[in-house]
Amino acid sequence: RPPPPPPPPPPPVSNSDNTHALPRPPPPPPVSNSDNIHALPRPPPPPVFNSEKTHVLPRPPPPPPPPPMQNSNQNTVARPPRPPPPPPPMQHSNQNTVARVSPPIPPTPPPAPTIHASPTPPPPPAPTTRQSPGNSATKISPPTPPRIPSSSASLPPPTGPPPLPIGKKLPIRSTPKPVIPTIKLKPFYWLKLTKAVTGSGSIWDETPMSGGASKAPDINRAQLQICFTAVDPVRPVKKDPVKPKIVRLIDSKRAQNCEIMLSNVKVPLQDLMNSVLNLDESALDADKVENLIKFCPTTEEKSKLKAYDGDKNMLGKCELFFLEMMKVPRVEQKLRVFSFKIQFCSQISQLRDSLNVVNSTAEQIKNSEKLKRIMQTILAIGNALNQGTNRGNAVGFKLDSLPKLSETRSSHFHKNLMHYLCWILSEKTPEVLDFAEDLFSLEPATKIQPKFLADEMQAINKGLGNVVEELSSSEEDGSISSNFNEIVKEFLRYAEAEVRSLASFFSEVGRNVDSLIRYFGEDPAKYHFEKVVSTLLDFVRLFNRAHEENRKQVEAEAKKNAEKEKTKTK
C-alpha cells in the first residue's frame, strides 16, 4: 500500500517587497513549572493591512490560551495564500515559524482555564479584506484555534461539546446536604438503613435524599431544638463536708499500726474495755488480746494524753483507744491475765500430752525384755571379737556403740556385724526379732525435748502467779474491777488445781527419764533423753533393714538349691 502524499509545503516568503506568508496562530506555550501563576493575558490584537506591508487580517480571537511560553520568532508574518487543506501538525523551528490556515470552520476552543480568572476578551472584529498586488480582495477566514502542545509533540484537537460562555458554570444537580444542628439534640435510637432497597416498591423509594417527592412535612428545626435540646440536667453540686483536722498526739507510724489492729478487732472502742474486764472470750481471742497488749500506752504517751485539754472528739482513733485503756487500772496486767486464761487449757493439755509420751517411752524401753536380750547378745559378740585385747571382757557398752554394728564390715559376702547379729538371733532366739513392737512410742518421743517441757511448765507457774498478784491488786480498784475479780477467782480455783496436778506429773516424768538414762549406764547430768531415743530409733531401723536383707538372701539360696535338686533328679 503506497504511503500517503506529503502535505503541501508552506508558501515561500518574498524578501523583495517585504511580504511574508500568512502565519499560523502561534501555539500556546507550555505551562510554566513555576509556582507563580499569573492571570492569563488579553489576546494580542490582529494586525492591519496597509499599502506598504501586508499583514494578516484580523480573525476572531480564540479563547484565552494557557499561560504564555517564550517563542523564538514572534514577528514573522506570512503572505496570505488561499488556505490549503489542513496538513498534519508540524513542529515549529527555532528560527522561522511556519503557519497553516485551516478551512473556515468554527473553531473549537480549549476548555476554559481554572487557575485564575481572566478578563473577558473583546468581541471578534469583522472579517476584513486585504488588497493583493492584482487589486483583488481576498477574504481571510478565522484561523483554527491553537492546540496545547506537550513537551515533545502537539496534542490532537480537543473534542466534545462547545464550552459554556466564560464566567458561567455548568449547572450541577445539587444533593441536599445533611443539616448539622448547631444545638445538640437528644438522639433518636432507631435502626438506621444505610442502603435502602429502591425500585422494588419500598416505602423509602421516594425520599428527600433520593430526589423523589416526599410526603413528609417540613420540620421546624427551631421548634425541634426547643423540645428536644440535649441539655444536661443541672444537678446540685454536692459539696464534701469539710473534715475537721484530726489531732495527733501519738507517733504517726505507731498510730497507723494501732488503727489497723483495731480494724481487725471488730469491737467498738466503748465496748472493748468491757470485754476485757469481763474476760469475754467470745469477743476477743488469744491473738487479739496479744495485739492489745502490744499497743498498751506507755508512760510518755499517757502523759501527752493527760496534758491534752482540747476537744477529745478531734483526737484520732489511736488516741481515743488509749484514753479508753487509761480508764482501766493496770490495763496491761489485766490483759495478760486475760491472755493466760484463754490459753491455759490448751497449754495444760499440750504439756500433759508431751509428758505422757516421754513417760510412756521411758517405761517401754525399761520394760522391754526383748531389747534386753538383744543388748546382751551384742555384748557377747563384742567380747568374742575383742577377746585377748584390752577391749575384751567388757561388762557393758554405751549406747553410742550401737551405730558401729553397721560400720563393722564382714570379710566376705558384703555383710556387716548387724547382719551377723540378726542371723544369730534368727537362729538362736527368733522370738526377739520383733522387739520394735514394744517401743511404739519411740518415734513420737524423738520430737520432744524435755528442756522445752520444763520451760513450758515454768511459764505456766509464772502465769498463774501473775493472776494471783493481779487479783490481789484489783480488789482495791473498786466497782470497775468487781466483775473481773469474780471471774478471776473462779478461774484460779480451777487453774491452781490443774497446775498442782501437772507439776506433780512433771516431776514423776523427770524421775523416769533420769532412771532411763541410768538404765543404759549413762549419767543423767550429761546424757539427755532425746539422745537416748534418737540412738535407739536408729538402731531399730538398721536392725530391721539387716534382718530383711538376710531373709531375702535365705530365700534366694533356698530357691537356688531347689533348682539344683530339680536338675539332679532329671
Q: Which domains, ranges and CATH numbers included, belong to the chain?
A: 252-328 (1.20.58.630), 348-554 (1.20.58.2220)
Give the C-alpha separation, 180 to 187, whole Å: 13
Q: Give ∠ CA 400-402-405 in degrees, rounded to 5.
A: 130
Q: How far apart are the first and last CA of the chain?
A: 122
Q: Mean pLDDT highest for which of 26-40, 53-67, 103-117, 194-208?
A: 194-208
pLDDT of residue 42: 60
Segment 327-335 shows an average pLDDT of 94
The C-alpha cell at 159 is: 473534542
Q: Is the pLDDT of residue 330 over 50?
A: yes
Estimate the crossing angle of helix 331-367 against helix 450-474, to 10 degrees.
150
The C-alpha cell at 375 is: 543388748
Coil/strand/helix, residue 154: strand
pLDDT of residue 62: 61
Q: Is the pLDDT of residue 294 over 50?
A: yes
Amino acid at 521: G
Q: Is the pLDDT of residue 271 over 70?
A: yes
Q: For the segment 82-112, what is each residue's pLDDT rounded down to a tens digit?
A: 655 555 544 443 444 333 444 445 555 555 5
Coil/strand/helix, residue 416: strand
Sequence-distant (6+) residues with CB within 8 A of 521 are: 396, 398
| pTM of the predicted structure, to 2 decimals | 0.56
* pLDDT band (50, 70, 90) for residue 220: confident
Instruction: Tell whether the torsion through CA atoms of 482, 488, 493 and 494 is positive or negative.
Output: positive
pLDDT cut 70: percent of the chain above it: 61
Pairing of strands 137-139, 129-131: antiparallel
Query: Higher confidence at residue 525 or residue 172?
Result: 525
- What CA dihedral angle connects 366, 371, 373 and 378, to 10 degrees? -120
For residue 124, count other CB atoms closer than 10 A to its CB.
Answer: 14
Query: Higher confidence at residue 44 or residue 436?
Result: 436
The C-alpha cell at 399 is: 549406747
Q: Is the pLDDT of residue 314 over 70?
A: yes
Coil/strand/helix, residue 381: helix
Chain mean pLDDT for the chain: 76
Give the C-alpha separation, 297 to 295, whole Å: 6
Q: For the segment 159-212, what is each residue's pLDDT rounded down to a tens digit?
A: 555 555 555 555 555 555 555 656 777 787 777 766 655 556 666 666 555 555
Q: Nearest to residue 25, comparing CAs of 154, 169, 144?
A: 144
Q: Is the pLDDT of residue 324 over 90?
A: yes
